Amino acid sequence: MKKSLLLLMVIFAVNMFAAFYSTEEWELIEETPGHAEMMQYVAETTDGNYVAVGGYTDDGYFDNAFLKKVNSAGTVLWTQTYDDFGQIIYVESTPSGFIFSTAGALHWTNSAGVIISSTPYNFPVAAISKTSNGYILLDNSQSSVGYFRIKRVNELGNPMWLYYEEDTFGQVQEYNYRCIDWDGEHDMDDHGVMIDSGSSITQTADGGFIITGWTYQGDGGGANLYLVKTDSQGEVLWEKGLGEGYIQNGLSVIEDSDGNFVIAGVGGTSNGEKAMMMKTDPSGNLIWNKLFGYGKFHRIIESSTGGYLTVGKYEDWNDQGYLYIVRTDIAGNTDWSDFTYYDGIYGASYHCMEDSGGNYVYCGWSDPDYYHIGTSNTYMAKYSEVEDLEIVVNNILPFEPDWETAYEINLGEDQTMHFEIDAFDPDGTDLTYEWYINWEMPVSTSSSFDFTLDTEIGEQYSVTLNVNDGFSTRDGERSNLYYEWMINIVESTVTAPQNLTVEITQTDVNLHWDEVAGASKYNIYSSANSETGFTFAGEVTGASTTYWNEPLISEKKFYRVTAE
């Protein structure tokens, strides 16, 4: 098959797609000789720095707590410790100091972290979230009776709810919490194991609460993700069991700015557990469910620029964990991600936040020897983020290569091939181009390139194009374009059309040429330049169809015809 020029234009709609890219500003790994530490929560302070809390242990039980102040550059300014407190699971900054929560009480400190006062909950807390006028607490201690509890307290830590119900003996009892479980039956599985477990609770825009965890509904199946919506008094409005076939466990839930609920956690597969994100509408109906790398997500937030940020643990094939952070768009598609596998840092991340400058800070623990007392360290990292509009492509010549459908070109040994791309960067940056033959030194740095080598039948050549908008990130060029075509040199069997004539009337342009024996069709190309820029204008089939026309326009045009 012979083509004097092989030209085909593919047209794309011009859409502006934005992408976000990250740069790690700093990484804090604080060694703690003699004991292990684990950061559980991080918040921005009123003076623009950070406060991080968690627990430490000398014997593996993490029954001691710490509070660290870290400056905006990632340096620990001071550390306050609290023996026999258990872990601190929540902290916030105030103008005069800090408020933090352990499993048993709410504590107030001065600016140096020294405790001034405390209010006991009389209620073992597994999760806590700030509300409009206090806090909402979640307790998972009632495994023996198959439910979890929620309790609302004011800004001083005192109960806000009070209920009276009859117990099984007909006696009226006073309660300051609500019990939550699937269908309200306090069911147990066949082994007496708790069926319903809560992991995360947060207040919603209507004043109520959204809760996630997991629920087991028997029959030998896995656990479903449990999503519960309550009113402001903790009364269940609806509940959903989401996920099928394998374990689905919600570990963190938020209500986003659209009123939807987004859950992060773990999703089971036939090959193991993977980090999972799930999105539902305001009624708890599933919108999408996404799985990521092996491991789990512990925390999710909504970004101020749209989309979500989630952190957790990435696990390799040896079941060793690494700190894991993923940024997605509103559909759950990854914008960027990072984990400490390539740095050889084992660990897990438990909490993340966006500071007032739009940076992301997350925390957890790290360990060069994978969680051994004496080597487990506190971990924090800060990421900045920038937005980049993706390169827009108007057309590609001879065609856009696709390794699934089309990327090979058969070219006669005496033929040339014209390659060209028409693209631009919506950010206004000048694009750079690099054309390669067989991956060697660039043969052209313009937007077009003509393949004109002396070739022999049977040879094969790779033509590649890199388009770069100059946007550099921590993980390399993310908005580059890359194309590759494979050219096969074959014997020419069809000659090019001869005696092309152009006839112009008042309304049309008419082309005529000599018939080429053996041709199956003719391709017509036009350009405003006699040498370059030819684009596909049309085609006619059959060797004897040797004419073509188009409406006359005011611009001067040049034409070429090829035979196949």
Percent above pLDDT 70 for the chain: 84
**Is residue 478 a contact partner of residue 19, using CB atoms and an 8 Å limit?**
yes
Q: Could you tell me whether strands 334-339 and 346-354 are parallel, antiparallel, or unpaired per DSSP bridges? A: unpaired
Q: Can you tell me the distance from the alpha carbon of 112 to that of 98, in angstroms, rounded to the nearest whole number? A: 9
Give residue 254's identity as a one-letter amino acid code: I
Query: Can you tell me the distance from the alpha carbon of 193 to that of 176, in angstroms, rounded to the nearest whole number?
Result: 25
Q: Which one-letter DSSP state was computed for residue 561?
A: E
Instruction: Return the exposure string of 380-413: e unless at least 16 CB atoms fall within 10 Å of the residue's CB, then b.
Output: bbbbebeebbbbbbebbbbbbbeeeeeeebebbb
| DSSP structural state of residue 194 | B
The type of residue at 241 is G
Q: Tell me the pLDDT of the chain averaged across its residues.
A: 84
pLDDT in tens, 499-523: 888 888 888 889 999 888 777 788 8
Q: Look at residue 547 in the predicted model and tell me its pLDDT.
A: 87
Give the strand pairing for 408-412 and 481-490.
Answer: parallel
CA angle 297, 298, 303 (to 5 degrees): 80
What the block records as the tokens of 273 is 């557990």
Rounded to the nearest 10 degrees, how much is the dihedral formed by the CA atoms of 286, 288, 292, 296? -20
Closest CA relative to residue 181, chosen from 168, 170, 163, 196: 196
Cα angle vertex 388, ends 363, 482, to 5°?
105
Q: pLDDT > 90: what percent of the chain?
A: 45
From the number of C-beta atoms within 10 Å of its C-beta (0-12, 13-18, 19+), residue 63 rates as middle
CA dist 258 and 274 (Å) reads 27
Region 518-545: what's the mean pLDDT? 78
360-367 and 392-397 beta bridge pairing: unpaired
Question: What does the pLDDT read at residue 6?
Answer: 30
C-alpha neighbours within 13 Å on the C-beta side of residue 68: 26
CA 478 from chain centre, in angstroms, equals 14
Pairing of strands 97-101, 76-82: unpaired
Confidence of residue 344 (pLDDT cuts 50, 70, 90): low
pLDDT given for residue 401 in this prediction: 85
Report H helices in 75-184: none
- Name the range with the highest mean pLDDT among 118-122, 494-498, 530-534, 554-558: 118-122
Could you count the other beta carbons within 10 Å of the beta carbon of residue 430?
8
- Are residues 291 and 276 in contact, defined by beta-carbon separation less than 8 angstroms? yes
3-state SS, residue 372 = coil
pLDDT category at 445 given cuts 50, 70, 90 is very high
Using one digit for the tens of pLDDT, what is the confidence trace for 77-135? Answer: 999 999 988 889 999 999 999 999 999 999 999 999 999 999 999 989 999 999 999 99
pLDDT band at 136 (very low <50, low <70, confident <90, very high): very high
Look at residues 525, 481, 485, 486 and name the one whose alpha carbon lies nearest to residue 393: 481
CB 495 within 8 A of CB 522: no
Q: What is the mean predicted confidence (pLDDT) over 534-542?
A: 81
Q: Which of 523, 525, 499 is nearest to 512 (CA)?
A: 499
pLDDT reported for residue 63: 86
Nearest alpha carbon to residue 453 among 412, 496, 396, 399: 412
Q: Which two tokens stand for residue 401?
A: 């290569």
Total-model pTM: 0.70
CA-CA-CA-CA torsion sign (158, 163, 166, 171): positive
In this predicted structure, the answer to whether residue 225 has a pLDDT above a threshold of 70 is yes
Q: Which residues pair with 131 in a beta bridge?
A: 134
- Residue 333 CB neighbours (<10 A): 10
Q: What is the per-residue pLDDT for 542?
A: 82
